[in-house]
Amino acid sequence: MKKVQLLLLGLLIFACSKAETTPEEPEPTSFLEKYDRTVWNNPEIATIGFVDDVTQFLWTIGTDCSAIGEGSSTEDGNTASIRINTNTPEEFIYTLAGNIGESDFVIVRTYTVTNNTLTEEITITFNGDQETINNSYNKFSGQVADYCS
């Protein structure tokens, strides 16, 4: 009888012991962190990927990959600057502003994700005229590094 009681006590202790838990990953604090290295594709437009690095946050993936990041540049008297406006886990917005000769332009791109679909809203203002374009991309296999080095 004691053996049965000891066996039951051992099982009870084992059953009540704290289960091992793996530490949880912290919630992403930004869109770039949440979608770091994620690739999105729209065969009619482009394949793009995000990287958690403001100096090269958006990659256009193709035969020759190119990246954009925050900063300013001047070439042949034309200027352009890129600034991240919003970088929350739910939304990423950046502005490209500058001039080409006497013409000024502002391009605002807004990205959001629902399920496996990336939505892009592009608002273009050129010499005071404004146009909005909406695109969607599907999550693509692999990561940015699989396509671009």
pLDDT in tens, 47-67: 999 999 999 999 999 878 999
Q: pLDDT tens digits for 80-118? A: 999 999 999 999 999 999 998 889 999 999 999 999 999
pLDDT of residue 77: 84
Chain centroid to CA 40: how far? 10
Q: Which own/partner pairs from 44-53 qualify as long-range (CB within 8 Å, at least 24 positions apart)?
A: 45/135, 45/137, 47/137, 47/140, 47/147, 48/137, 49/143, 49/144, 49/147, 49/148, 50/92, 50/144, 51/144
pLDDT of residue 136: 97
Residue 70 phi/psi, 5-degree rounding, is -65, 145
pLDDT of residue 26: 83
pLDDT of residue 25: 76
pLDDT of residue 50: 95
CA–CA dist 149, 77 (Å, integer): 31
- pLDDT at position 12 over 80: no
Domains annotated for the chain, with CATH where assigned, are 27-147 (2.40.128)
- pLDDT at position 19 over 60: no
CA–CA dist 54, 46 (Å, integer): 21
